[in-house]
């Protein structure tokens, strides 16, 4: 297993995907208590640091970490927000870059929303990439769609990967495999029919598309729902009531459009059914909607791992590996 540190770990989507790709988390930094409890509940062996990332010191880990990752907050760049970029107090790119400088990991992986690619953020985006280059990393940036990696959802996300210049950099983003992605109906049929709903088969046929982007919202957001008007219309076209979230699947005689449950939403995000988001529906839906789908993180992680595997094969000792970074 390769050693990793993750900041802004959320409910564990990226961490779970990277674990499945072969990374062992030395530390996961997360500020919100509900998210920290979720991480600890699902992976008691993970070292979860429930703290403000501004106070996380990277120097003790210098030269010891293979991958530094994080899904820094998206509101500064999201079209759903004010897109204040660097002027938004929630912008944590500076903290990620600080930790890159302090830790000197062999690779870096940063996830954010599609808005980061907007022309208005060109200067800031180039600043981030140039800073990584100044710290000794070759950078790769691409917009990835979750539906290309087995996740039944339209969820475009920008991923930045940095490979230290002292390593052999043949990184490429994972190949798209949209044919592996099932429809919403295929993905959720067993859950939707779990209480014997007599119209489940008809619903499955109607829900023959992938889902629109699942939203999480913020603490200021009201109760859980499936997004703004346009998203709700897309859900309605698949026979789903997007105005709220249900506690359980429809019963035998239910009439009309069913609502999704948090477990259904989590599955559409690529989480395994056993991942426990707690009993509070609004909090659970926020955690789910703000997550980075584990299958996408895993696929990117596997591409990074190929480079680390090559280095491990050609430079046998840990001392040799460390010396190729801490120069």
Mean pLDDT by 10 residues, the chain (327 residues): 96 98 98 97 98 97 97 60 49 93 98 90 92 97 97 95 95 95 98 98 97 77 78 95 96 97 97 96 94 97 97 70 54
Looking up residue 45, the CATH number of its domain turns out to be 3.40.50.150
Tell me which long-range contacts 299-302 makes (C-beta under 8 A, separation of at least 24). 299/17, 299/21, 299/149, 299/174, 300/17, 300/21, 300/109, 300/144, 300/159, 300/161, 300/173, 300/174, 301/17, 301/18, 301/20, 301/21, 301/22, 301/23, 301/67, 301/109, 302/21, 302/22, 302/174
- pLDDT attached to residue 18: 98
- pLDDT attached to residue 84: 47
Same domain, 50 and 11: yes
Same domain, 220 and 315: no
Same domain, 253 and 313: no
> Exposed, middle or buried: residue 226 (CB in 10 Å: 0-12, 13-18, 19+)?
buried
Same domain, 96 and 162: yes
Q: Is 5 helix (H, G, I), strand (E, B) or coil?
A: strand
Q: How many domains does the chain have?
A: 2
**Residue closest to 17 by CA, chosen among 43, 54, 49:** 43
Q: Is 60 helix (H, G, I), strand (E, B) or coil?
A: helix
Q: Is 305 helix (H, G, I), strand (E, B) or coil?
A: helix
**Residue closest to 264 by CA, chosen among 278, 245, 282, 279:** 245
Same domain, 283 and 160: no
Please tell me the pTM assigned to this model: 0.91
Say whether 285 is catalytic. no
d(CA 207, CA 201): 10
Same domain, 149 and 34: yes
- pLDDT attached to residue 314: 82
Q: What are phi and psi of 190, to 5 degrees?
A: -65, -35
- pLDDT attached to residue 324: 56
Please answer whether residues 261 and 205 qualify as being in contact, where contact means their C-beta atoms are separated by less than 8 angstroms.
Answer: no
- pLDDT attached to residue 127: 93
Q: What are phi and psi of 138, to 5 degrees?
A: -80, 135
- pLDDT attached to residue 216: 73
Q: Is 113 helix (H, G, I), strand (E, B) or coil?
A: strand
Please answer whether residues 155 and 214 qualify as being in contact, where contact means their C-beta atoms are separated by less than 8 angstroms.
Answer: yes
Q: Roughly what angle, to the nearest 10 degrees, separates helices 13-21 and 294-314?
A: 40
Same domain, 163 and 237: no
Same domain, 272 and 228: yes
Same domain, 301 and 248: no
C-alpha separations of 168 from 128, 137, 163 in Å:
22, 11, 8
Same domain, 132 and 12: yes
- pLDDT attached to residue 228: 87
* Chain centroid, CA 91 distance in Å: 17
User: In angstroms, what is the C-alpha Rg of the chain?
Assistant: 20
Which contiguous run of DSSP H or E holds residue 287? helix 281-289
C-alpha separations of 227 from 13, 183, 307 in Å:
20, 19, 39
- pLDDT attached to residue 215: 86
d(CA 161, CA 116): 14
- pLDDT attached to residue 319: 52
**Which domain range does residue 233 map to?**
179-289
Same domain, 24 and 134: yes
By residue count, the chain amounts to: 327
Same domain, 262 and 148: no
- Exactly one of 36, 38, 74, 285 is catalytic; name it: 74
């Amino acid at each position: 297993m390769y050693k990793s540190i993750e900041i802004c770990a959320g409910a564990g989507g990226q961490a779970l995907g990277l674990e499945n790709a072969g990374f062992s988390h030395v530390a996961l930094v997360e500020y919100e208590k509900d998210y920290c409890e979720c991480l600890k509940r699902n992976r008691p062996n993970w070292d979860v640091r429930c703290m403000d990332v501004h106070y996380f010191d990277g120097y003790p880990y210098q030269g010891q970490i293979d991958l530094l990752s994080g899904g820094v907050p998206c509101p500064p760049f999201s079209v759903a927000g004010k897109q204040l970029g660097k002027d938004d107090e929630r912008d944590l790119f500076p903290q990620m870059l600080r930790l890159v400088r302090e830790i000197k990991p062999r690779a870096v992986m940063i996830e954010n929303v599609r808005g980061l690619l907007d022309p208005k953020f060109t200067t800031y985006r180039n600043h981030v990439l140039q800073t990584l280059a100044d710290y000794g990393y070759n950078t790769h940036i691409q917009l990835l769609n979750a539906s290309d990696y087995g996740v039944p959802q339209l969820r475009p996300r920008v991923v930045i990967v940095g490979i230290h210049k002292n390593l052999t950099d043949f990184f490429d983003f994972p190949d798209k495999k949209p044919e592996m992605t099932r429809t919403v109906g295929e993905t959720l049929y067993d859950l939707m029919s779990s209480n014997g709903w007599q119209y489940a088969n008809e619903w499955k046929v109607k829900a023959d598309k992938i889902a629109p982007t699942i939203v999480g919202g913020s603490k200021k957001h009201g109760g859980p729902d499936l997004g703004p008007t346009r998203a709700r219309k897309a859900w309605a076209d698949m026979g789903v009531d997007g105005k709220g979230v249900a506690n359980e699947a429809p019963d035998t005689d239910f009439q009309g459009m069913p609502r999704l449950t948090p477990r259904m939403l989590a599955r559409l995000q690529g989480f395994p059914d056993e991942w426990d988001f707690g009993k509070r529906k609004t909090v659970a839906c926020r955690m789910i909607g703000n997550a980075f789908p584990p299958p996408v993180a895993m696929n990117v992680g596997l591409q990074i791992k190929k480079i680390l595997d090559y280095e491990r094969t050609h430079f046998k000792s840990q001392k040799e590996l460390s010396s190729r970074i801490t120069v």
